[in-house]
Amino acid sequence: MTRILIFGGHGKVALLLEPLLVAQGHTVTAVIRNPAHEADVAATGAQPLVADVEALDLDQLTNLIAGNDVVVWSAGAGGGDPSRTYAVDRDAAIRTMDAAAAADVLRYVMVSWLGSRADHGVAADSSFFAYADAKWAADAHLAASPLDWTILAPGTLTLDPPTGRIALDPQDGGAVPRADVAAAIVATVGDDSTIGRTIRFGGGDEVIGHAIAR
């Protein structure tokens, strides 16, 4: 039985992910900021844990992560205020990586985005720049860490029904249902061949588990 801690536990992907993990017999704890979301999380079979990841320091995060086997980062500021985007998508994410290492919880799965690269190409005056810059900084920190990391980088997220299939390295926007992203996270958690890899994907024709297996 694997103990999985999800940051961003009330996000659209996370709420689809949690019941999939629970159905596999994992013990799932979902970190949420708003106590009003506890019932939604509990309905998935996951255990809600109210904590503001933006406010927790390294020691507090280390205590929170300790005792788990896998960390999944699916949190985000949701755009808007650039300062909060950096505070959550970059700074808080990096603190959880450092905390996971300190707690000796080595398996870490980051949900990023298709364009996350040093040369992401987003103009500095774009409203999307803070997100692109913050996500790349977090991804780069993770890739340089001692953790057993995987970065999942899906394209444009949709609310379409799941297909169970994806395509790697799409050349377009890589539109993909959130439900298929959730399934890709499940497959990643169960496949150690994904460790140390950035997996960029969108909707496609290859069965998810086959697509991400090395």
Decide if pLDDT at 86 tops 80. Answer: yes
- The residue-averaged pLDDT of 29-47 equals 98
Exposed e or buried b per residue across 152-170, where buried means at least 16 C-beta atoms within 10 angstroms of its C-beta = bbbbebeeeebbebbbeeb
Instruction: Determine which helix (DSSP H) or strand (DSSP E) holds 181, and give its type and residue range.
Output: helix 178-189
Q: Residue 80 pLDDT > 90, yes or no? A: no
What's the pLDDT score for residue 103? 98
Over range 84-107, report the average pLDDT.
Answer: 98
Domain boundaries, the chain: 3-212
Average pLDDT, the chain: 96
HEC sequence for 163-207? CCEEEECCCCCCCEEHHHHHHHHHHHHCCHHHCCEEEEEEECCEE
Q: For 110-116, what is the mean pLDDT?
A: 96
Give the global pTM. 0.97
The pLDDT of residue 156: 96
Taking 90 as the threshold, does the pLDDT of residue 43 lie above it?
yes
CATH superfamily of 3-212: NAD(P)-binding Rossmann-like Domain (3.40.50.720)
Rounded mean pLDDT, 80-84: 90
Provide the terminal-to-terminal Cα distance of the chain, rounded to the nearest Å. Answer: 24
- pLDDT of amino acid 174: 95
Summarize the confidence of residues 52-65 as an average pLDDT. Answer: 98
